[in-house]
Structure 1
């Protein structure tokens, strides 16, 4: 294990059991997949990218660029009229296209048209090796620009969960996108940008033992989980408005706040920053790892424990944390050695009852809600 214990997107000390849960029922009246197919020339696609009508996710581009050899073979295939796989996009409310499948193909085309690389290792059209788009013979330029792509558009009125499901089914690239990377594509907007900014919080990075933000947005998903739980948890009843599956819960929250008002973003920022200040003041950089009875911490982080820690500390003041450091640190050790709590943060952690158990036990231990019997535990 390297110094960072988030190198692997699946490197967690908890198991969600998400695949074993019943699927969330989508109402029949909105259970529709609306699509429209277009034949677009390469020239048109490049122009749409230039105009911002097609969004090539810059974060994705940085992490998953095709090597020039593979991009060159795509260019050669177009020049040879070899059929190219269909590109799938999702239309947003502004009629912009977010790429579901085909991002590498479009990105390679765009890079070549911008003279970012030279053609290399072509076997059929070997005379074009070493040339950029600018240096191509006029005939080759025309043939490339006239090359056709079939584009299937998932229209904006398609239910968000159906869009997400289609995205998951088509997610078959050499590096499969994780759930938060998919959300980056489907829910672009003010809230997604906000989540990306939160990842730069130094105390948050320290608790995750990351020297820089995670290239696959695991850190952004942790912030999303925290805010979704906090906004949907009723302290008076100790109940979470939860649909039964974590990924659906997070998708719904992102869709709801996709283009939230600036005032809401300011509120989210205040809550997150004060929460991390409190956590770091009391627990330091081991806050997100499970302690044993002696205070020794696990190597891997535990997402379910993070949910509880962040929810609890977001409802405490800076003064409370300063005055009760030792007590609150002891509370975490007590919780993590409580059999019911330990079970709720380890196995089947996306299950509604286990979520209810761990959140309520945490809030009661920290004195945020009354320590009275509750039917959920």
Structure 2
């Protein structure tokens, strides 16, 4: 108690600094769409996940809005003081929670979404906004959504705190989506950029023409795979103790502390590794096989555990500028699937320490 009294001034200052200032407001949908179009409201701040609602889910939200069914509160962060001299041209608000809902509304009211899966208003299935009768257009334009505007102009950390608290323990976010929100920094930006690299996408079986249609991209699973690469390399996989999700999160927090020069080195290593693997092992280098009836049967074109095994072994053991694959090649690598220990290490629950070590060490053994 004495310690608390001594620190009272510090506690008061901290509480004052981090107290959230909010304002409740209702926007009609017409106004919201205009603000999003003018970029006054930013739908995709760096800590947000990708939009990944299906067209049917989006349509059901539109149906709820037409029927005046209540929808959850939208949380907006006020990032720029509206009275500031340099505020023109900047997004004044970003979305902390409600991105999926606002994106669905925006896509429909700009005729990017055709309704499907409507349960009550079935005659509207297949319709775009421009196809609606005038009375429904008026109803939607005038329908309001309650928003809570949060002033984070004084302390940018506020919006991240709120985002984390709103989503902590929630099933709404995938693991990497939550890391993207919490462990922000230069490394986080790097892995999101590297996930778009051509060789990686081809090896990951992600379409180069329509990558946004991939579930891996929508859920940021591709970004998590890039994180896995950096978290496991340099024999760091031997330090896996607390569980794979915690291991990846701890690794991301540490890697965000790297200097710009170190990040440049990581970028170069990843790009070279994917290029070398694609050149020497083909576009399906990370495929999984089963050996049965004296032949190899392909079980999948991409397997994350196989990716760990080959990518980490190559990154750790191969001179990427002058690679020697005399011992490790497509044939010798595929032979590993005959080994029951290796096959087990890329099957079932694959992320415990023993399985991770078994599969990576097995591929490294071919390079010795």
Unaligned 5+ residue runs, structure 2? Answer: 1-18, 80-91, 125-130, 151-156
| 1:90–1:163 Cα contact (<8 Å) kept | no
Residue 25 (structure 2) aligned to one of 40, 56, 59: 40
Q: Kindly tell me: are residues 354 and 59 of structure 1, through their superposed partners in 2, closer, same or farther at Cα, counting changes over 3 Å?
A: closer
Aligned twin of 1:363: 364
Counterparts of 1:339 and 1:282 in 2: how far apart (Å)?
A: 25
Unaligned 5+ residue runs, structure 1? Answer: 1-33, 172-176, 368-377
Residue 288 (structure 1) aligned to one of 275, 286, 289: 286
Residue 270 (structure 1) aligned to one of 258, 268, 271: 268
Counterparts of 1:245 and 1:60 in 2: how far apart (Å)?
A: 26
Aligned twin of 2:146: 149
SS at structure 1 position matched to 2:233 = helix
Aligned twin of 1:207: 203
- TM-score after normalising by structure 1: 0.60
**What's the CA shift string for 1:292-329, capped at 9, x where partnerless?**
677835231321121011011113114653x4345444
| 1:167–1:182 Cα contact (<8 Å) kept | no
Q: Kindly tell me: are residues 90 and 352 of structure 1, through their superposed partners in 2, closer, same or farther at Cα, counting changes over 3 Å?
A: farther
| 1:289–1:297 Cα contact (<8 Å) kept | no
Between 60-69 and 339-348, report the one with greater CA deviation. Answer: 60-69
| 2:43–2:103 Cα contact (<8 Å) kept | no
Between 52-61 and 102-111, report the one with greater CA deviation. Answer: 52-61
- TM-score after normalising by structure 2: 0.61
SS at structure 2 position matched to 1:85 = coil
Residue 166 (structure 1) aligned to one of 162, 166, 169: 169
Counterparts of 2:33 and 2:257 in 1: how far apart (Å)?
A: 27
Q: Does residue 311 of the first structure (1) align with residue 318 of the second (2)?
A: no
**What's the CA shift string for 1:200-240, capped at 9, x where partnerless?**
44433333344333343243332221122126x34xxx723
Aligned length: 307
Aligned twin of 2:226: 223
**What's the CA shift string for 1:63-116, capped at 9, x where partnerless?**
645688545434435xx5x53224468999xx975545x333222444577687
Q: Does residue 344 of the first structure (1) align with residue 321 of the second (2)?
A: no
Counterparts of 1:74 and 1:118 in 2: how far apart (Å)?
A: 15
Counterparts of 1:200 and 1:158 in 2: how far apart (Å)?
A: 28
| 1:344–1:354 Cα contact (<8 Å) kept | yes
Quote the RMSD (CA, aligned, Å).
Answer: 4.9
Aligned twin of 2:298: 298
Counterparts of 2:280 and 2:148 in 1: how far apart (Å)?
A: 53
| 2:73–2:147 Cα contact (<8 Å) kept | yes
Aligned twin of 2:10: none
Q: CA deviation at 1:257?
A: 4.8
Q: CA deviation at 1:269?
A: 1.9
Counterparts of 1:278 and 1:54 in 2: how far apart (Å)?
A: 37
| 1:91–1:97 Cα contact (<8 Å) kept | yes
Residue 247 (structure 1) aligned to one of 239, 245, 248: 245
| 2:195–2:201 Cα contact (<8 Å) kept | yes
Q: Kindly tell me: are residues 40 and 345 of structure 1, through their superposed partners in 2, closer, same or farther at Cα, counting changes over 3 Å?
A: same
Between 215-224 and 302-311, report the one with greater CA deviation. Answer: 215-224
Q: CA deviation at 1:265?
A: 3.9
SS at structure 2 position matched to 1:42 = strand
| 1:286–1:297 Cα contact (<8 Å) kept | no
Aligned twin of 1:76: 66
Counterparts of 1:159 and 1:68 in 2: how far apart (Å)?
A: 25
SS at structure 2 position matched to 1:211 = coil
